[in-house]
Amino acid sequence: MEHICLDLEGVLVPEIWAEVAKHTGEDKFKLTTQDLKDYSELMDMRMELVRSLNINMKDINDIVDSMEPFEGAREFLDWVRDNFQLTIVSDSFYELTWPLIRKLGTPSINCHYLDIQDGELKGYKLRQSNNKQKVVQALKEMKFTVFASGDSYNDIQMLNEADYGVFFQAPEHIKDEFPNIDVVNSHTELKELFISKSQFVERGE
């Protein structure tokens, strides 16, 4: 049995904190895991910005509620779930992503937790270190063949750990740094690649 692990932001939905940047005017929110390799450094910076700008969780939730998945992402996920096992593996947070997950048809997601107290965002709690890589390792231990796709530095361990990993619309500097990892630029290309790499039998109608 084959299991597909997909990153969320950058593959299925826009970057949430980049959207926060648009609403607040704070350009530092535009920095993502495509820019910084140290995820804790990135999140610590975001938490400090949230505190300094007095942004509460309702403000962020309102922004996320207004966002939509990428065009074709829901249809792509419906196809994946018809034909493979699927887990979204994200370094985002349940409390942040849930409106978008619902718009994607509520697929299974493995991610982290926010520390919210009286409506204020106080910090974050990682599920575990190297979570994406460990999710793939656990699936392989259960005898799944694992395919994975992501777009950023924090996806590299997952892509390398998978039986087959591929970049989705990764920026040029990341593609240049990891030339051993294949690249696709659309969900149609990703679908075709998964079919070509699998023992594929169409199960959907």
CA distance 123 to 138: 27
Sequence-ordered list of residues with C-beta below 8 angstroms from that of 179, at least 6 positions apart, any chain: none
What is the CB neighbour count within 10 angstroms for residue 147? 24
**Which residues are paired to 98 by β-bridges?**
none
CA distance 139 to 183: 23
- Alpha helical stretches, state H, 84-182: 94-103, 131-141, 156-161, 172-177
DSSP one-letter string for 54-94: T--HHHHHHHHHT--PPTTHHHHHHHHHHHSEEEEEEEEEH
Question: Counting Cβ atoms within 10 Å, is residue 25 exposed (0-12), middle (13-18) or buried (19+)?
Answer: exposed
Active site residue 9: yes
Count of alpha carbons within 13 Å of 66, Cβ hemisphere only?
Answer: 10
Select which of 9, 15, 151, 161 is catalytic. 9
Select which of 2, 7, 151, 161 is catalytic. 7
CA distance 131 to 150: 14
Whose tokens are 């065009």? That residue is 71
Active site residue 161: no
Residues with active-site annotation: 7, 9
